[in-house]
Amino acid sequence: RQEICGMGLSQINQRILNVENERREHQQTFHVFLEQVPAVYPELVEQRIQQLLNQIQTLEEEGRTLSRDREDLIFMMAFRIRGGNNYESVDSLEFKKV
């Protein structure tokens, strides 16, 4: 939570875009790899596939985290605009999706 307090909304949005672009690049690499690499060394192919899938999953998780951080930052900004000036009080609130 402290990390997002130091970041602006535009910085979080830019990080989300960067993560999404990197994830797309990894997915494209994955598809090209599957189409073009012969299964001469199946164990190496399997390792590379797993590596690419892990990278994609990590980027997807980072994107979800950044999206939550963005939502939290927007909430904190709205809270402050409405007269709340103590960020610690935000930490005690429960965030629930409806």
**What's the rounded Cα separation, in Å, for the pair 46 and 2?**
39
Q: Are 16 and 63 in contact (CB under 8 A)?
A: yes
Task: Spell out the residues 6+ positions from residue 52 whose beta carbon is closer than 8 angstroms to its own.
Answer: 26, 29, 30, 33
Alpha helices in the chain (DSSP H): 2-5, 9-36, 42-81, 87-91
- Tell me the pLDDT tens digit for each residue of 23-50: 999 999 988 888 777 667 788 888 888 9
- Tell me the pLDDT tens digit for each residue of 57-98: 999 999 999 999 999 988 888 888 887 655 544 444 444 443
Tell me, yes or no, if the pTM score tops 0.75. Answer: no
